[in-house]
Structure 1
């Protein structure tokens, strides 16, 4: 009977791991969609920003400012992936978070899978499922957020870097950005009008 019960626990733990892997694969495929404005061949400005830092609104503000002054420019935006191992560590934390939450909800102890006695703190989590799941969820999100928060707001114009918040520590003022664009493209003489732009 113990062997049958142990085998069922192992199968349940394996199912939990598979669910976590599936959730990780789905989360990994869920990237911040690149935002595009305009369709024709024209000067292209790309913003790569820290989505978890809340910089999406700053990006939208710059898009509106640029759209008013330079309707010919195509603007792209997307998430700036953190450097080094932080990205992979955040994925690992996400997978562990899912496994622990599913284990708590399903009352499966991962310790029995490894032949270890279940510690008292795990029993406490099992007896307070809602509180435990909320705590694990928010703690996991906090750690993930710290790992992937790069603070980046990087701007390129025709694939040439023109501004880096990582280097300067600040966002470009609109007039500074306009000056950069004018200098980079010699805008008044060299840029052709976007034929798709409706005047």
Structure 2
């Protein structure tokens, strides 16, 4: 009876760890604070949705600096581009499984026992080499997650109107092209003006 209670407690701890890890990753990876160049709410807004796992955060920051020099009135926001379809949810599932397996290996709790199955020999090998097993599970899980959520996206919209898509063009816009897009989109408004001191 005590062994059964201990197993139930271990299973509860595993579930809580997985839920906490999913919640923590969802909050930390997706929310990227916006960069504001002006406090005027009616100012034009440019939104960048980019592939965070592809390393495009640096490109986003470069565009923020360039736009801030030429168009100080524009508010620039950036966020992670969530992959379409089931890839996003599969990556979350793999993350949860990775955490559960690592916790099981470290705590020497066999999930097969809870399922009423015989413990396979490879699980015993994981138990005898815990550090190596945890490292391999961690890196393999990260690799699978990265493949699922790596979209290659760098999507730009101005006032909620899409103006550039790396998924369609296959490349980043040059600063000159982006300036031309902004000028064309906002040529009929007086809310935005170029910085007269901007050096082209």
TM-score by length of 2: 0.89
Q: What is the aligned partner in structure 2 of residue 105 from structure 1? A: 106
* Whole-angstrom distance in 1 between the partners of 2:89 and 2:55: 21
Q: What is the aligned partner in structure 2 of residue 133 from structure 1? A: 134
* Whole-angstrom distance in 1 between the partners of 2:88 and 2:51: 13
Q: What is the aligned partner in structure 2 of residue 14 from structure 1? A: 12
Q: What is the aligned partner in structure 2 of residue 35 from structure 1? A: 34
1:48-63 equivalent positions in 2, closer than 5 A: 48-63=49-64
CA deviation vs aligned residue, 1:42-74 (integer Å, no higher than 9, x gap): 111111111111000000111111111111211
1:1-199 equivalent positions in 2, closer than 5 A: 4-30=2-28, 31-37=30-36, 38-40=38-40, 41-186=42-187, 190-192=189-191
Task: Give the 4+ runs in structure 1 shifted more than 6 A.
Answer: none
* Whole-angstrom distance in 1 between the partners of 2:2 and 2:103: 21
* Whole-angstrom distance in 1 between the partners of 2:101 and 2:114: 14
Q: What is the aligned partner in structure 2 of residue 197 from structure 1? A: none
> CA RMSD for the aligned pairs?
1.6
* 1:7 Cα deviation after fit: 4.2
Gaps of 5+ in 1: 195-199
3-state SS of 2:49 partner:
strand
TM-score by length of 1: 0.90
- Contact 1:43/1:191 (8 A) holds in 2: no
Gaps of 5+ in 2: 194-200
- Contact 2:51/2:81 (8 A) holds in 1: yes
- Contact 1:32/1:79 (8 A) holds in 2: yes
3-state SS of 1:78 partner:
strand
Q: What is the aligned partner in structure 1 of residue 197 from structure 2? A: none
* 1:147 Cα deviation after fit: 0.8
* Whole-angstrom distance in 1 between the partners of 2:70 and 2:113: 64
* Whole-angstrom distance in 1 between the partners of 2:44 and 2:146: 34
* 1:16 Cα deviation after fit: 1.1
* Whole-angstrom distance in 1 between the partners of 2:128 and 2:170: 47
